[in-house]
Structure 1
């Protein structure tokens, strides 16, 4: 046995010993054992995929591929088990529920109808073996969240679509009675408001006689503990009010000095509350001096601007691929430059990525935007209640835009239609909701050899899977980007119109926001995003390490650091779920490494892995004991959470707003190991928006990025085989 073989043997032996030390229990994780010696390279790596039968077992039981159709892909008529519900499946879910529960007919509102994904333990073998399950191997099921328009009661209905039966209908306890905003709630609330006599009189007092010019922004109420009279409401909303000067005018330039409290069950107008229009007014808008609706227009529609408003110096940039795109899209399966990705979609999360592989090596089982929300910083009541969840309250999926080329997606673009449901439970198709495109991303790598003068340079291409959701005043584009060097980037662009509120005539400038126009303020706020990354880095048995770059401890002139310039890398392995909550550190350049200790790198001798490069964020502006944070934003107190995989744990803040989500899960299994097992990473980051005049009437895109990059996953740069642009030009000649 030579030295390299010896090192490899002891690496594997060390790993086996560490595994045996874990107490006996049966797990559903999978390990990937790399077979080979010191002569291995990327092409010669042989991978055996197998189940762990127990941590004390030395047996690797190969995956049973019997019944696996190696040739079938989801591009044909056969559905993949993870494909979203079809229009017919949504129709059938509604029909089966109504036929089975006739007593609920006449007032049942269908909140969401979504796919019940098969248990991961049943489907993972197909992912790791890069095969597609036969259609009849998994039962198609749907979960419907419903509420009754007369009582406000909430129900969960599970339908077996293959057997055409209702498996269960459960009336949820009172504490769970806060599901998503239903698809048609905005219109129901708006129509009720403009017809209400009290609201009409209040508008009349402000000189507004044409109620067709009223515009409303419907927000769920979160914190109501200071208003006990609102606690009895089934589904309460507070509605911010605006008016247009004329049809088509930007109503956000004309906010009104009151909000309306509405219970959607009915719907009923409950109360009208004044908002503070003076900086120091903390008494529910008690001081209404100088109360006059701002009239100055500020429109982003160029047709409403002066003639020749658009600049003439801007020239078009065209994207052209003479041979067509490098990717293929078959139904929901995308293949591009060694990547294979399955695209899913839900009304709540929007785009969901399933079964992400690179060169047949697994990376991600599932990735999605688990939660996104915003908290406004104005403490003056009722603005202290101004916060919401774009995912958990509004549902970014069914608010997806119809995208267009070249305005939304430039280049060789293919679009995917998605189907959601309306209040009646009928399918609603959103055309071109997802775009798949390939684009230039600048220089990928370059070097000029100083000895020979030879230049090597390659431009980067990337695959983009994106969608845009409009949640009231904000437009949010979510993009997953894949690069030729096996890197993965998540990008969110914050766009749209800042939420405005009214100031008194000649009122003092508020310290809680920026002035957009005379009498118009936009409050400072903080966006919070939670990504859920179900990693499978070379298999299911993963571990997370916190990695910091730190100076050596020794002082200058010491033996350890004689010249004072030394620094090193410090790693801290996250051992248990209770210790799996940590924060970013820009001072130490903190990243998190997801490693697979069962896959040993042939050169480094250490485990293969991917590093999560976080979006470094300011701290949360809210106090730790703020009632606003609990329960709705409890998941935001850490930038990274690591949990053991568990079916059903999809949303960082819990399925319902009354749940805590991550903090509860961490506490319930605080002593459970998160070493060499099936884990989920939850990266929570935020963006503080200090409003400025340039944000109005439309703000330019504010991007935030998160990266997953290979770290000792390959034996060399995997993009070295990318041809240069000059090579393509020679081919054309």
Structure 2
């Protein structure tokens, strides 16, 4: 078995890095040295975010075509002074070992349009801050608890126009009892109690002590053999091997597999980023672009419990928490199986120092069943081809939940993105049945006295499309019933309705399975062999959009989540669906701001923002640790090719059970009266 590792941030010192290459360790160091030497930098200043400030798409494409210079390497650096709360958003030129970089711009944030992301240092300070507050200690004491046997969970605050929070960095705190160090506290929520904390002044601004509910006594120790029960020992090993090695090649961040080429990148905020996905035409050797950049740019987890200590539970795990920094180091046999290529990820810590997450991204091939097959009754042809897919994935743990994001590339040109959700429910105390015997309407009882509040997971995929070039458009395609009548006398007819999306302001669309709604991304200026625009179709997985009231704070902060699709004209400054500064943002940024000018999107350089994800009514089976739940979307070629692009996939060999070409052709049979006659007989 071959295991290969690539450091995404490793750079050849003799070759200038690609304009979109992930920041390397030496670049992080140069950024740190430049920033810490600035006159406004203090001993209490922290690096809230450091990432590549990507050049404009036209500059990158011009350079690749030999028509423009190599774009300058720049970084975006967000700084927070822990003592004063002073926040700045900076752009620096990175420079090189020979030529120092420079500060290019600084914007001082006043907090009116949101705060910088929450720092790990702020999370770690919370327990001491609330332990020093007499009201918090007294509230715990009344419940028979102490600060020593309670875990404090700091959470993003949202925005509710509380006067004392204006311009301040606020976290909200819930408590969980922990019986002993190995005891999982999620099983023991201390419900009815919450503290609001100013992290800069290290003070509690408001204490909510609404009600006393019994602390659930159930066990959440899923890793305890006593709770797990007798092991299931009837499972036999499954061994996945590729004796000749994997079919992909890797050069730095560039991957080639089958007809596919693309670049693997990583960002502290978004995690895994795929860039410049393209399909190589085997006949001509031409590379046909499909997606310039694909990522999960935002992730919202809104909760539906309106109780006094929970109404504010709405988490933006990318914008508020930077979920890329919580990426797991993946392990062979646990997270990835087969012939694996790992990519390491290099980031900057809150002091600006580079560090590496080893094996942060996993890439491998998987067998995926039948690719295409037919047994013909007339010719006797009987052919089967097996499918395989290339998997590029990473896992991140944000508090109680674990999220895996898997991008799949297929031999027929299909692209999929799948989110896998597991980990531990965020719990509450279950208040029990009402006087009339009704269940509590906003949570499930998942264990005795333990609630699992209803919630959603709404992921935003940012898809910067370049289907055969940058001039793209989107058609909404619905199934249309045709009424019985002239031309449809027997009432069997149905057709499709096509609506071209023309401006940003009208691009907000909702999936509708009743009409099979899909969105076709086409290139009006590039025609296929049948004289029609080449394109890809986005197939959504229908699920509810944001369920909060449209006038609510969260709906204003996350307009992107109120629709399954928005389309905007490309702008390099428009990176995140909820805006740049999500923490305590009052709303009106992100998609709301992007579509305000109602720019044209018909035949333009466009970006799709697709919302997908499940609504979760927790089950007892989700406790004490959740089996994986899934959410995904699919992009399939639609007129991008003139025929099935997987016709040339070889038949599996007779000596191989894998999904690849072999020496034999036992899955391909031509001719034979017995076969034709047998099938024809069944046809009669």
Q: What TM-score do you get using the length of structure 1 for normalisation?
A: 0.82
Secondary structure of the residue aligned to 1:540 is coil
Secondary structure of the residue aligned to 1:667 is coil
Q: CA deviation at 1:490?
A: 0.5
Q: 1:239 aligns with which of 164, 168, 173?
A: 173
Residues 624 and 504 (structure 1), Cα distance of their counterparts in 2 relative to 1, 3 Å cut: closer
Verify: 1:683 aligned to 2:610, yes or no.
Answer: yes
Verify: 1:292 aligned to 2:214, yes or no.
Answer: yes
Verify: 1:618 aligned to 2:565, yes or no.
Answer: no
CA contact (8 A) 1:76 1:331 kept: no
**Number of residue pairs aligned between Structure 1 and Structure 2:** 631
Residues 504 and 653 (structure 1), Cα distance of their counterparts in 2 relative to 1, 3 Å cut: closer
Query: What are structure 2's unaligned runs of at least 5 residues?
Result: 1-9, 281-286, 657-661, 666-684
Q: 1:537 aligns with which of 451, 464, 467?
A: 467
Verify: 1:139 aligned to 2:72, yes or no.
Answer: yes
Verify: 1:662 aligned to 2:587, yes or no.
Answer: no
1:106 counterpart residue number: 43
Secondary structure of the residue aligned to 2:37 is helix
Q: 2:196 aligns with which of 261, 267, 272?
A: 261
Verify: 1:301 aligned to 2:223, yes or no.
Answer: yes
CA RMSD of aligned residues (A): 2.2
Residues 623 and 177 (structure 1), Cα distance of their counterparts in 2 relative to 1, 3 Å cut: closer
Q: What TM-score do you get using the length of structure 2 for normalisation?
A: 0.88
Quick one: distance in 1 between partners of 2:367 and 2:299?
A: 29
Q: 2:601 aligns with which of 653, 658, 674?
A: 674
Q: 1:652 aligns with which of 560, 577, 584?
A: 577
Question: Which whole-Å deviations, capped at 9, do the CAs of 1:483-522 have from their partners, x for residues lacking one?
Answer: 0001100101111111101235888741111112222101
Verify: 1:642 aligned to 2:567, yes or no.
Answer: yes
Residues 682 and 619 (structure 1), Cα distance of their counterparts in 2 relative to 1, 3 Å cut: closer
Secondary structure of the residue aligned to 2:31 is helix
Quick one: distance in 1 between partners of 2:45 and 2:220?
A: 42
Query: What are structure 1's unaligned runs of at least 5 residues?
Result: 1-73, 275-283
Quick one: distance in 1 between partners of 2:459 and 2:90?
A: 29
Q: CA deviation at 1:567?
A: 0.6
Residues 324 and 201 (structure 1), Cα distance of their counterparts in 2 relative to 1, 3 Å cut: same
Q: 1:85 aligns with which of 23, 38, 41?
A: 23
Residues 267 and 455 (structure 1), Cα distance of their counterparts in 2 relative to 1, 3 Å cut: farther
Question: Which whole-Å deviations, capped at 9, do the CAs of 1:97-126 have from their partners, x for residues lacking one?
Answer: 12122x431211210011111111101235
Residues 656 and 75 (structure 1), Cα distance of their counterparts in 2 relative to 1, 3 Å cut: closer
Question: Which whole-Å deviations, capped at 9, do the CAs of 1:258-283 have from their partners, x for residues lacking one?
Answer: 22221111432333323xxxxxxxxx
Question: Which whole-Å deviations, capped at 9, do the CAs of 1:205-262 have from their partners, x for residues lacking one?
Answer: 3333571x4323221111322x433x24611111121122222112111111222221
Verify: 1:629 aligned to 2:555, yes or no.
Answer: yes
Question: Which whole-Å deviations, capped at 9, do the CAs of 1:123-142 have from their partners, x for residues lacking one?
Answer: 12355x5x8x99x8222211
Matches within 5 A, 1:20-419: 76-77=12-13, 78=15, 79-101=17-39, 103-126=40-63, 129=65, 137-162=70-95, 163-194=100-131, 198-209=135-146, 211=148, 213-225=149-161, 227-229=162-164, 231-232=165-166, 234-257=168-191, 258-274=193-209, 284-285=210-211, 288=212, 291-303=213-225, 305=227, 309-359=230-280, 360-419=287-346
Q: 1:515 aligns with which of 441, 445, 453?
A: 445
CA contact (8 A) 1:112 1:182 kept: no
Question: Which whole-Å deviations, capped at 9, do the CAs of 1:563-598 have from their partners, x for residues lacking one?
Answer: 101011111111222222221111110111111121
Verify: 1:550 aligned to 2:480, yes or no.
Answer: yes
Matches within 5 A, 1:436-515: 436-503=363-430, 509-515=439-445
Secondary structure of the residue aligned to 2:611 is strand
Secondary structure of the residue aligned to 1:438 is strand
- Between 187-196 and 563-572, the greater mean CA deviation after superposition: 187-196
Quick one: distance in 2 between partners of 1:607 and 1:198?
A: 67
Secondary structure of the residue aligned to 1:188 is helix
Q: 2:458 aligns with which of 528, 541, 563?
A: 528
- Between 564-573 and 199-208, the greater mean CA deviation after superposition: 199-208
Quick one: distance in 2 between partners of 1:82 and 1:160?
A: 14
